[in-house]
Amino acid sequence: MTSPTPPASTTPPSRRSTTLPRVVVVHRRTELESLLERHGTRGQVEFFLTGRGRSLADVQARHDRLQQALRQAREAVPAQWRVGDAERDDLHRFGFEPDDVCVVVGQDGLVANVAKYLDGQPVIGVDPEPGRGLGVLVRHRSQALAGLLPGAVAGTAPVRRRAMVRARLDDGQHLDALNEVYLGDQGHQSARYRLRPPGAAEAERQSSSGLIVATGTGATGWAASLARQCTPPPPLPGPHLSDTEQPWLAWFVREAWPSPTTGTHLVQGGLGPDDELTVVVESDALVAFGDGLEADRLTATWGQQVSLTVSPRTLHLVDLEKSPATG
C-alpha cells in the first residue's frame, strides 16, 4: 500500500519515500517473562525469588512499567503508518528498511544492541523506568513520542551522531559496535597475536587478556577503567560528533604479559578516521564481538588478520537537547 510522496518542502530527499512510514519498536524480554519461561508458573517464580531474598511484586512492577511504555509507544504511531516489532534476541534476523524510524524502549544497552544493525535510520530511545538507569541513550519518555515521530520521519528532528567501531577479518566478514569491540580468546585464556598500530615501524608479538577498541559512547565504561590504569591517563573520545568533527577511537591491551618472546610496549593509543589497528592471530582462534553480545561474533583462526577501524556507519540518535552549535 502506498501514499503520495510528502511535499519536498517538508521532507529532505534522504528521507523521502513513496511507502507509508514504518516505526520499529525494539524491546527485550522482561525478567518476569524469562523467569516464567524457565519455571513455568508464577508460584514457582515466587518461590525461586523468595529463596534469593527478592520479591515477585518488584519483578512484576518492572514488567508492568515496560509493558505500559511499549503500549504507549505503539499508540503514539499514527493509525495510517506501519508498525514493526523487534525483540532483542531477534535483531540479527530482523529486516530493517532504509526509511524506518527505530523506537528503542528499554535501557541504554538496548540502543547499543540495535545500533549495529542500522545504517542511518533515526533512533528514539525511550526510558520505561526513569531514574533507574543512566538514561544516556534512552533520553525520552513514551509520552513524548507523538511529538517526536513526525520530525523523525521527515528528517527534521534534532539528531546527535555517535561514532561506531568496526572489526573486519581478511576474508571480508565484519561487525560494528557502538561502545567497543573486544578481541581475545573465547575461553578467557591468553590471547597470542602480533599487533601493529598505525605508524608503528613493526608489529609487536603479545600475549594478553585481549584488547578493546572503544568509541566515545563506550569511553565512560570499560575504556574509562583501562585508561585509569595508564600513567598518565590518555584522552578518550567524546560521545557526540559535530558536523565538522572527525571520529576517533581509543584502544587498549588488557594485561599484556612480558616474556622473552612477547612485549608490552604497544598497549594503548588512538585511531583516527583513516587509521587501522591490525592484529595477526597466533592462537588457534580468537573471537571479536561488540557491546557484550558474545553470541554475535567473528572467529579468526591462526594466521588470519583482524583490522580495527572507525566504522563508516554512525548511530543517529534523536535528541531534543541537540543544538546546531554542538552537532
H, E, C per residue of 127-142: CCCCCCCCCCCCCECH
Distance of CA 237 to the CA centre of its chain: 16
- Is the Cα dihedral 237, 185, 87, 91 positive or negative? positive
User: Which amino acid is residue 103, in one-letter code?
Assistant: V
The pLDDT score that the predictor gives to residue 18 is: 56
Pairing label, strands 101-105, 122-126:
parallel
- Is the Cα dihedral 84, 87, 90, 92 positive or negative? positive
User: Which amino acid is residue 151, in one-letter code?
Assistant: G
Nearest Cα residue to 272 out of 197, 179, 173, 221: 197
The pLDDT score that the predictor gives to residue 32 is: 94
Instruction: Tell me the Ramachandran region of residue 175: left when phi exceeds 0, alpha when psi lies from -120 to 50, beta otherwise.
Output: beta
Reported pTM? 0.84
H, E, C per residue of 277-313: EEEEECCCEEEEEECCCCCCEEEEECCCEEEEEEEEE
The pLDDT score that the predictor gives to residue 321 is: 65
- Provide the strand spans (E) within 50-188: 82-87, 101-105, 122-126, 159-169, 174-177, 180-184
What is the mean pLDDT for each group of 10 consecutive residues in the chain (327 residues)? 38 55 96 94 94 95 96 95 93 92 95 93 94 87 94 93 96 95 91 95 95 92 86 85 83 94 94 96 96 88 97 91 43
Q: What domains lie within the chain, and their CATH numbers?
A: 13-157 (3.40.50), 164-312 (2.60.200.30)
Q: Please provide the size of the chain in residues.
A: 327
The pLDDT score that the predictor gives to residue 307 is: 98
The pLDDT score that the predictor gives to residue 6 is: 39
In angstroms, the CA 286 to CA 278 distance is 14
In angstroms, the CA 79 to CA 82 distance is 8
